[in-house]
Chains A and B, each alone.
Chain A
Amino acid sequence: MKTTFTRLFFPLVTLAAAASVTWAADVPALGPDGFSLPMSDSGVPTYLIEMKDGQLIPPQLVVPAKTRFRIVARNIGSKPAEFESNQLRLEKVLFMGAEAYMNVTPLDAGSYDYFDEFSPGVDGKLIAKPRS
């Protein structure tokens, strides 16, 4: 009871610590142009974000600004997840094993966050930067 209590009141601390560990473990692969590698690029670049029990993989995506793209959120964890980003205007509930395609409108350069609403505390970061 005591440990769950602590986890309830300090989710930020514990989860942020966990996130910084995973951050170091898998630094997202960037292509030679400095952008994240899309999983497919047939017309609209499509980026994969996997969700595993509160963990966001990758924790950071670099995408071109002012360009439409798509995000595929896939839940590979053992619990349901909700991919959410108010800043990107996306929200999708995912059962275990489920995945969803979402369109993102052209973004201004800057950084945006995304998270799992069912496991709050860990933020993923999406960086939109102009193509040089």
Chain B
Amino acid sequence: MGQIIFVVARESIEALLIIGILFAWMSSREGAEKGKHWIYAGVLAGLGLATLLALTLVGVTHFLGGEARSWFEIGMLTLASTLIVQMVMWMRSHGRTLKKEMENRLDRDLSAANWWGVFFLVTIAVGREGSETAMFLYGSFLQLATWASYASFFGAVAIGLAIAMVLFYLLQLGNRFISWKWFFRITEIMLLFLGASLFLTASEKLLNGYLSNVDLPAWFYSSVWNTSHILSESSLIGDLLASLFAYRSRPIGWDLVTVAVFALVVWRLLAWQSTRQAQQTRPQTQAAANPGG
């Protein structure tokens, strides 16, 4: 029972972090309420995806072969990490309200595109970890025999979900009691770290999979430092830090290059976004002041 509680809570945290932040954002934005429907739709689609992927794990269907599956995982991870960065940029570009932008048709189309981003991000977040949970629960379910074991099984699933939901509610509470500016500053960093972590996992799958026959320079494979005696990923905290914050106790050259590339790209994108916004507001105010010319 303890094992079921642990697995359910552990595997739901990543998805609930993403959903919780998006949900809090939409609750506090005028005109963004509609976005919640996209979250719900994404959760439903994610559950569908999780079931489908769980079936391939169990071996019921083989619509993805071993190699295709690997590419699919790498693709999902990269897409999720890209969508997270895009989501952060979108949140940055909108202040307290979406209402004004909604009146402009071009912005309305842009927002529609962003709703699809929300939808796919939530779908992947729920589907990816959900498939492992679904397979685990199905496997444990098969072992059940007595009434008491069924009761304890469903009880454990409920407790596990409840523990993970605490994170979701903390995010909603935080949104209410901390000023938006601070809430966003904190959650933005959490999202970007999660994005980096997903990107790192994708690159490691690439290194162990398709690049396994390629000989890269030796320093790519060498550990750069070792903190496993302080905090190992096999501990609960180390494991959470690894999946949410890209923590590695023995990173190799490849890991550092990957994270550096991610950080550099995100930094350039955010810098480009703020200069562009500064440029856009200036001509608009000039045009407003001088409508004829």
> Which residues from chain A sit less than 8 Å from chain B, CB to CB?
4-5, 7-8, 11, 66, 68, 78-80, 82, 85-87, 89-91, 93, 95-96, 98, 102-108, 110, 112-115, 117-120, 123
> Which residues from chain B sit less than 8 Å from chain A, CB to CB?
1-3, 5-7, 10, 57-59, 132, 135-136, 138-140, 143, 152, 201, 204, 207-209, 212, 218, 221-223, 226, 228, 232-234, 236, 238-239, 242, 248-250, 252, 254-255
Residue from A8, A96, A123 within 8 A of B139 (CB atoms): A96
CA distance A83 to B112 in the complex (A): 40
**CB atoms of A82 and B132 under 8 A apart:** yes
**CB atoms of A80 and B136 under 8 A apart:** yes
**CB atoms of A80 and B139 under 8 A apart:** yes
CA distance A112 to B248 in the complex (A): 12
Kindly report which residue of chain B lies nearest to residue A93, judged by CB atoms: B132
**CB atoms of A8 and B222 under 8 A apart:** no
A110 with B223, Cβ < 8 A, contacts A8-B2, A78-B143, A89-B208 known: yes
CB proximity of A1 to chain B, nearest CB, Å:
8
Q: Which secondary structure dominates chain B's binding surface?
A: helix
Residue from B132, B238, B250, B254 within 8 A of A112 (CB atoms): B250
CB proximity of A119 to chain B, nearest CB, Å:
6
**CB atoms of B2 and A11 under 8 A apart:** yes
Residue from A89, A93, A110, A123 within 8 A of B135 (CB atoms): A93
A120 with B152, Cβ < 8 A, contacts A95-B58, A103-B212, A104-B208 known: no
**CB atoms of B143 and A90 under 8 A apart:** no
**CB atoms of A7 and B2 under 8 A apart:** yes
**What are the 6 tightest A-B residue pairs by CB atom distance, in nearest-first order?**
A8-B2, A86-B233, A80-B139, A103-B212, A89-B204, A4-B1
**CB atoms of B209 and A87 under 8 A apart:** no
A123 with B223, Cβ < 8 A, contacts A95-B59, A104-B208 known: no
CB proximity of B70 to chain A, nearest CB, Å:
11
CA distance A41 to B17 in the complex (A): 44
